Amino acid sequence: MERRLSFRSAVTASLATMLLLAGSACGAWFARAGGEPEPVGETGGTSPASAVRPVRLTGVENAYQLTSDIYSGSQPEGDAAFAALAGAGVRTVLSVDGARPEVEAARRHGLRYVHLPIGYDGVPDAVALRLARVMRELPGPVYVHCHHGKHRGPTAAALLCEWSAGWSPEQAVAWLRQAGTSSEYPGLYRSVERTSAAASPSAPDAAPLPEVTPPTGLVETMVALDQRLDELQRCRQAGWRAPTDHPDLAPLAVATLAHELLGELGRTDETRSRPAGYRGLLARSEEAARDLHEALREAAALNPRANTALEALAASCKACHREYRR
């Protein structure tokens, strides 16, 4: 009986010591990161969950600290968000979103902005080269963001972790899942799963690291959207399945890219400066693309709702091209 009590007392004392040490470690991390830590796993493991921690930062959603030098999250909203990032020790803000970043607000807090937009279909090698240079040439820690902090931003952050922190592709994929990156964006997953020589951080690159990248022109965006519409028509002809001669065209993935392309276009300065008629047609196109996306998620092949949505999308795009593609 005495041995049993002694053993129980020893276990209780050990647990108390572990909790005390864990609390001290979390408190120290909190002081460094400028937010409240919420551990995802035990420190010291080999998966990203062992190191990645969510943090609370004013004006930022889906914020995580991946390593001591890399953060990921949503677009900072307002002056308070940049103050919070600076308070967390961040020195460089990297946007992979299409919208113009708030460079002036960042400067007021001593932060350097880099703007390297990417799409939902993956990270081009040319952009990957410049992403790698951000870690080599600019002061850290680096905060990486897209719009919501769930898809493109986590992908870019994963690449930085692969290059600078030795993450494996498996760790990078696990992080994307943890961040909530949708499987409907297979190109983003492919970007972290492959390691190409062109995307190596040691590869030469003389392109600038701009604070603001001019948005893709309307004509270029419409050309890209035309390509998505052609792909969707091929999927429709195949019964809303991948065509046998083009097995990489997953209907839901293509519809998702079309919807995101329209949404991204709607948030640009160029769109805000356009006539109300153009903005209305763009809104109709985005609504039709959203209906198509939802129809393909919910129903099987030969879905009448998907057919109707695709017809509406094609009609609104045609009307917009006729009026504004000059």
Q: At what angle do helices 125-137 and 152-164 cross, to 10 degrees?
A: 60
pLDDT at 218: 67
Q: At what angle do helices 169-179 and 186-193 cross, to 10 degrees?
A: 150
pLDDT at 45: 38
- The beta strand positions in the chain, using DSSP E, are 53-54, 64-67, 70-73, 92-95, 112-115, 142-145
pLDDT at 321: 63
**Euclidean distance between CA atoms 17 and 90, whole angstroms:** 33
**Residue 200 confidence class, pLDDT cut points 50, 70, 90:** low
pLDDT at 38: 35
Which residues make beta-bridge pairs with 70?
67, 142
How far apart, in Å, are the Cα atoms of 236 and each of 11, 39, 228, 250, 299? 64, 45, 12, 11, 13
List, edge to edge, every strand of the sheet that includes 92-95: 53-54, 64-67, 70-73, 142-145, 92-95, 112-115
Tens-digit pLDDT profile for residues 275-295: 888 888 888 999 999 999 888
Residue type at 50 in one-letter notation: S
**Residue 206 confidence class, pLDDT cut points 50, 70, 90:** low
pLDDT at 324: 65
Domains of the chain: 34-199 (3.90.190.10), 218-324 (1.20.120)
Which of 132-136, 141-145, 179-183, 218-222 is modeled with the greatest confidence? Answer: 141-145
pLDDT at 326: 47
pLDDT at 257: 87
Q: pTM for the whole thing?
A: 0.66
* Residue that the structure tokens 């930062």 belong to: 57
Residue 262 pLDDT > 70: yes
Question: Is residue 95 helix, strand or coil?
Answer: strand
Tens-digit pLDDT profile for residues 66-101: 999 999 999 999 999 999 999 999 999 999 998 889
